[in-house]
Structure 1
Amino acid sequence: MYKYIFLLLLSAFVSSCENFLTKETITDLPADGFPSNEKDAEGLITGMYDAIQDALETNYFYWGEYRSDAIERNRNNGDLNLFYNTLSPTHATSNWNSLYKIILSANVAIKYIPALNDGDEANKSSMLAEALTARAWMYFYAVRVWGRVPLITEPYENKEGQQLYYPRADLDLVYTQIENDLKQAVNLFGVTAPTSCYRISRGVASAILTDFYMWKKDYSNAILASDYFANTSTNPYAYANSDTWKQIFINPASSKENIFVLYWDYTSDGEQGIVKQIGGGQQSNAQVKISRTVWNKFVNRKEWDPRFALSLDTLHLYNGVGTLDENSYDMINDNMGIADDYCTKWLELDPLTGEYPKIVASDADYEIPFYRYSGIMLLRAEAYARRNEGNDLNEAISIINQIRQRFSTEHNLTGSETQTELIDIIDEERLLELWCEGTRWFDLARRGDLKEVMDQVFINERGIPEGFGDEQYILWPIHQSAFSANPELVGDQNPGYVEG
């Protein structure tokens, strides 16, 4: 039975990650379903990347952005259950199966790759580190979305007496597993430079570890984990400036800002679902648009921050209302003829028209950054600001000024900012830098001010008098299918939700 389950999962894995296009995909593993040589292992890792595509293609946006203050419904489009925080155990985003598909594949790689007798040792070590990082990353997503989750670290091997059903584990146990996996991966990778932003590397493991420590409010360890990016002898990444910032999205492989990018090619991967969420160009049926919060912050910096025009079709918007200020937000949204207030990060400006072309989900190649150098450095700045020991505030200010100097040398911080002011400044920088990249909800949650921020959004923008509601609804419900498949979960739904 276990072998059958594993082979079913494995049969769904095919290669589409650009980094593997030149590699042979393994379709026939040994009869027991586990790798017996380096070639088998490479096929398993290839499949793991494809599973990551499937798991995060749109979920990264649902889980990390959709319910936040960064976006609003586009007219009558958008998922009402997400916008009004009325999630249910039948909602597709409540299903964790796609994450566990990756975890199960990683478990096989983690157990069997070290035992392989053939192949290049450095390559095997790198594949093991990739599997450890992927497993930790998926568990990190899982605990942020659902809280306690089943902790499975062994492959299904059809062994007599092997555990079949797992209850939700204590959160500290899952945290320990995430930390141990990432630290082991970092050691295995060493200081080897990444070969591609489409493949897990030392930078990816260190970025996730930094993010993880920030989630746990372990600021000293977050600083240590991010040392890799601050040390000029090891850091392979660099900030993009005004001229190159757009390359992060339209030509990710050329940008040293990118630590990990999810590759999506329409020809080989099919329709790109995220286009339906954030739109692009003149696609008027996008589900979401920029929120008033982000709009106002961009407008207030429009004279010196090019990310406004690089993230939205500001020329088209300006031509529609004649001005871009805080009042323009209502004017734009009252005018049904103006439909370009969506995220255009992934679109290349047409040099002839000065506008962004129309793009549709049925013909879209999106390459989605998940971790970027500037984002991790802002986490490092926040860790310094929150720890606030010795010279920490100056370290935070230095990083913020580096981020701003990409666009302007006239808007540096003065050094007179208080700790609270610095934390708020960093929050705004991350919001504008990483808008629509699946980070905002998690930032609000780990800061501990999610309900406070979202109360005002729900009251002022979404017309819900009681605001966000009970804080227990920060977590997603567990999908109803999990309870019928796993009796160990029965009676352990997240508070506030039913099991089916």
Structure 2
Amino acid sequence: MKKLYKYIFWSILFLSVTSCSNSLLDKEPISNFSGEGYYKKPSDAQAGVNGIYNGLQTLFRQNYAHWGEGRADNVVTRHAGDPGALQQNTLTPIINSARWDNFYTVISRANYAIKYIPQAFGTEDSELKKQLLGQAHALRALAYFYLVRIWGEVPLVIEPYEGLGQELFVQKNTETEVLAKVEEDLMLATENCATNYSGAGNRVLITKGAAYAFLTQLYMWQKKYAQAIEMSEKVLADPQYTLVSIEDWNNIFVKGSSAESIFEVGYNEVQTNNLRIWYAMGSDSDYVPSTSFIASIEPDDLRKPRIYDVSQVQPRKIWKFFGQGFNDESPEPSAGNMVLTRVADVVLLKAEAHANLNQSVEAFALLNRIRIRAGLPALDQNKANTQFGSLLTGILHERSVELCFEGHRWFDLVRTGTAISTMKPINGLSDNRNLMWPIHEGELLKNPNLKQNEFYR
């Protein structure tokens, strides 16, 4: 029976990595590769890494907003399915966002690339070889970082599955073990990725700056504040990354590839995503701004009319990602990129790190860069205490508004230990074990060595 499972698994895996599209710079990465026999020349290595990006597109296409926003306080929904379950905190092992198979597709493709890229280049000492290896390691790290933040303990698989002699029914690793590999992979990416790439690929490929930005996020998740500051400074010292003006704020998302963007997942009319379904389908989008989110925005905030229609008491669409005044009722998927990290994200994480180290001068300077751009007055300690209760609370509030609906809010609440205090009055969240998602029943059926997360047993 075990051999039969392995045969079926290998057949499915082979089919899953042999679809083909056109050009990465057209945001359609190729995914046509199949292990040792494929990686024969540098162009094969390039195609293999393109396939990882293709897997990343698929990964975030359906569940990105569910993972990062659906369980948090900035949105409300009147829909059933995942939106309703997440908002009401009634997660079960059959909801779609409990599936992790697309994460492991990305990881599998990365594992093949990491093992066989050297073979494709032979003895050639090539910058392209280093860059492709760096990107593959970073993309694997990104997948595992999300896995840990969503499910906690997960299996750590770092070798491609290539034969019946390998163990198929893997067990979970600890969060510490997985995040150690994430850090190792991202550090390797900082050493090997290019500082920038030509043309449109510069924001949809992993650069050194993107690796440093994800390391900043990782260290903040681990509360390693000094390390987070060190990584963030490497990003902010790079002149290609800068805050855009408030007039161009929407274009970070509408047009993509802005000076503020550090890394985004590329989409187009062929490789589409669910941004419109989540946020912009007229009166029927999955998520709309919550009353508490609307009330939290300061009256003179220049971002407010750029996020939603302020003329509506209960806005029924979020036009942050589509442009001010967006009014297309079409249910068609979106071709817009998903920005995973940008300068404002790194600036506010750095401010938070300084605040946690009691370095308030540095923290206020960074926080006020974002506030002043939004047309808001600068804060000092007295004003922060009066308005928000503390500097740290003021920074978390600023992240809530500046990065709203970009997939950060839920992870911010969990990371800062405020998820239960924020969500308990809304949906009764009260158990730390409930912060993780359940493992989908399909994964448990395929792998008898997996145990359901404790809260959902």
1:289 aligns with 288
**CA distance in structure 1 between the partners assigned to 2:26 and 2:328 by the alignment:** 28
**Does the Cα contact within 8 Å between 1:381 and 1:426 map onto a contact in 2?**
yes
CA RMSD of aligned residues (A): 2.4
**Does the Cα contact within 8 Å between 1:145 and 1:475 map onto a contact in 2?**
yes
**Does the Cα contact within 8 Å between 2:350 and 2:363 map onto a contact in 1?**
yes
Q: What do the CA deviations read for 1:24-73 (whole angstroms, capped 9, x no partner)?
A: x474667x554121111111111111110111123121111001001011
Matches within 5 A, 1:213-232: 213-231=219-237
- The answer to whether 1:399 aligns with 2:406 is no
1:453 to 422, 436, 454: 422
CA shift, 1:496, in A, is 2.3
1:277 aligns with 278
1:347 aligns with 322
Per the alignment, in what secondary structure is the counterpart of residue 247 of structure 2?
Answer: coil
**CA distance in structure 1 between the partners assigned to 2:121 and 2:58 by the alignment:** 32
Specify the code of the residue in structure 2 equivalent to 1:130.
Q
Q: What do the CA deviations read for 1:413-443 (whole angstroms, capped 9, x no partner)?
A: 2355569711111101100011111110000
1:479 aligns with 440
- The answer to whether 1:302 aligns with 2:299 is yes
Q: Percent identity?
A: 30
- Residue 453 and residue 15 in structure 1: after superposition, are their counterparts in 2 closer, same or farther (change >3 A)? farther
Per the alignment, in what secondary structure is the counterpart of residue 481 of structure 1?
Answer: helix
Matches within 5 A, 1:314-325: 314-315=310-311, 317=312
- Residue 348 and residue 420 in structure 1: after superposition, are their counterparts in 2 closer, same or farther (change >3 A)? closer
1:462 aligns with none
CA shift, 1:235, in A, is 4.0
- The answer to whether 1:207 aligns with 2:203 is no
**CA distance in structure 2 between the partners assigned to 1:42 and 1:77 by the alignment:** 38
Q: What do the CA deviations read for 1:302-322 (whole angstroms, capped 9, x no partner)?
A: 32x21100111224x2xxxxx
- The answer to whether 1:495 aligns with 2:434 is no
Per the alignment, in what secondary structure is the counterpart of residue 371 of structure 1?
Answer: strand
- The answer to whether 1:414 aligns with 2:407 is no
Specify the code of the residue in structure 1 equivalent to 2:51.
G
**Does the Cα contact within 8 Å between 1:69 and 1:454 map onto a contact in 2?**
yes
**CA distance in structure 2 between the partners assigned to 1:343 and 1:365 by the alignment:** 16
Matches within 5 A, 1:30-429: 32-74=36-78, 79-117=83-121, 121-158=126-163, 161-189=165-193, 191-192=195-196, 195-231=201-237, 234-253=238-257, 255-266=258-269, 268-270=270-272, 272-280=273-281, 283-298=282-297, 301-303=298-300, 305-315=301-311, 317=312, 332-333=313-314, 340-349=315-324, 355-362=325-332, 364-388=334-358, 392-408=359-375, 411-414=377-380, 416=382, 421-429=390-398
**CA distance in structure 2 between the partners assigned to 1:87 and 1:141 by the alignment:** 18
**CA distance in structure 2 between the partners assigned to 1:217 and 1:15 by the alignment:** 41
Q: TM-score, normalised by structure 2?
A: 0.90
**CA distance in structure 1 between the partners assigned to 2:412 and 2:367 by the alignment:** 17
CA shift, 1:273, in A, is 2.2
> Which structure: larger Rg?
1
- Residue 403 and residue 178 in structure 1: after superposition, are their counterparts in 2 closer, same or farther (change >3 A)? same
Q: TM-score, normalised by structure 1?
A: 0.83
**Does the Cα contact within 8 Å between 2:213 and 2:232 map onto a contact in 1?**
yes
Identify unmatched segments of 5+ residues in structure 1.
318-331, 334-339, 350-354, 459-466
1:323 aligns with none
Identify unmatched segments of 5+ residues in structure 2.
1-6
CA shift, 1:402, in A, is 1.2
Specify the code of the residue in structure 2 equivalent to 1:372.
R
**Does the Cα contact within 8 Å between 1:185 and 1:205 map onto a contact in 2?**
yes
| Range moving further from structure 2, 213-222 or 362-371 | 362-371
Query: Would you say how many aligned residue pairs link Structure 1 and Structure 2?
Result: 444
